[in-house]
Amino acid sequence: MKVLIVDDENLAISRLQRLLNDEGVENITSFTNPQEALKECIKSKFDVVFLDISMPGITGLELANMILELEPKTFVVFQTAYSEYALEAYKTGGMGYLLKPVETTLLKDVLKKIEIYMSSNTLSEDKKIIAKRGDRLYLINLDDIYYIRADLDEVIIKIKETDAYVRKKIGDLEKLLSNKNFFRVHRSYIVNVDKIKSMQSIDQSKLEISFDGIDEIVTSSKDGAKEFREYLERRLI
């Protein structure tokens, strides 16, 4: 795990570095200057970035957006002495929000969450997709997914109870699900074929797809509808 710490307080960097070392994390780079940290992110990729929210020049929230633009798969963890930024931090896509002084137990929880995400790069028959909504993690069975929708640098996983988010591009999940009964009917949608209730042709030969158990409709693209029909025909042979 390659880690970057950005904090304008050397004492905070030293403490976090020591706590990370205690958890077996050794590959750590640190900066007190956010501009210098951003330059390093342009040159190097980091798995996890710990950012202080309140820094001169560039705030941690602003720096997080810049880093995620460079590398959307980076896991961002915020650390701050103030609790009022929590909601904004999660909206930015943060994996964790640690109040200073950082508690060992909470740091362990964040690292464990990140390790789960990092290990979910392949899907076996019994594999679950790990997704989040706010600060809650969902372990989602493939059979429970209705559809997957692209949302900027994340995807939304639709299950019956809720929507949850995964920090992957839809093309990445399409590859992971290539040997399952999922089909990409639109550049922004992958559907679980086993959850489909009915399909209806609409203008330009597109398909409106409805599902068992939820009152939502996914509309395919014209090319997606053609390829999906061919896929279904092959399955019926």
Looking up residue 66, the CATH number of its domain turns out to be: 3.40.50.2300
Q: What is the pLDDT of residue 125?
A: 45
Clarify whether residues 78 and 29 are in a common domain: yes
Domain boundary among 119, 148, 175: 119
- Classified as helix, coil or strand, 79 is strand
Residue 68: alpha-carbon gap to chain centroid: 11
- Classified as helix, coil or strand, 75 is strand
State both tokens at 32: 């007190």
Clarify whether residues 111 and 156 are in a common domain: no
* pLDDT over 90 at 89, yes or no: no
Q: What is the CATH number of the domain that holds 189?
A: 2.40.50.1020
- Classified as helix, coil or strand, 23 is coil
* Confidence grade of residue 122 (pLDDT, cut at 50, 70, 90): very low
What stretches of the chain show up as alpha helix (H) in DSSP?
Answer: 10-22, 34-43, 60-70, 86-92, 104-119, 170-176, 222-236
Provide the β-strand partners of residue 165.
Answer: 132, 156
Question: Mind listing the pLDDT tens digit for each residue in 17-68?
Answer: 999 999 999 999 999 999 999 999 999 999 999 999 888 888 888 998 899 8
Rounded to 5 degrees, φ, ψ at 142 are -55, -35
Question: Mind listing the pLDDT tens digit for each residue in 131-155?
Answer: 888 778 888 888 999 999 998 778 9
Give residue 56's domain range: 3-119
How many domains is the chain partitioned into structurally?
2
Q: What is the pLDDT of residue 190?
A: 97
Clarify whether residues 102 and 9 are in a common domain: yes
Clarify whether residues 162 and 204 are in a common domain: yes
Q: What is the pLDDT of residue 79?
A: 86
Q: What is the pLDDT of residue 110?
A: 86
Clarify whether residues 108 and 136 are in a common domain: no
Report the pLDDT averaged over residues 66-95.
72
Domain boundary among 119, 144, 170: 119
Question: How far is Cα 78 from Cα 51, in angstroms, rounded to an integer?
Answer: 5
Question: How far is Cα 6 from Cα 30, in angstroms, rounded to an integer?
Answer: 6
- Supply the mean pLDDT for the chain: 86
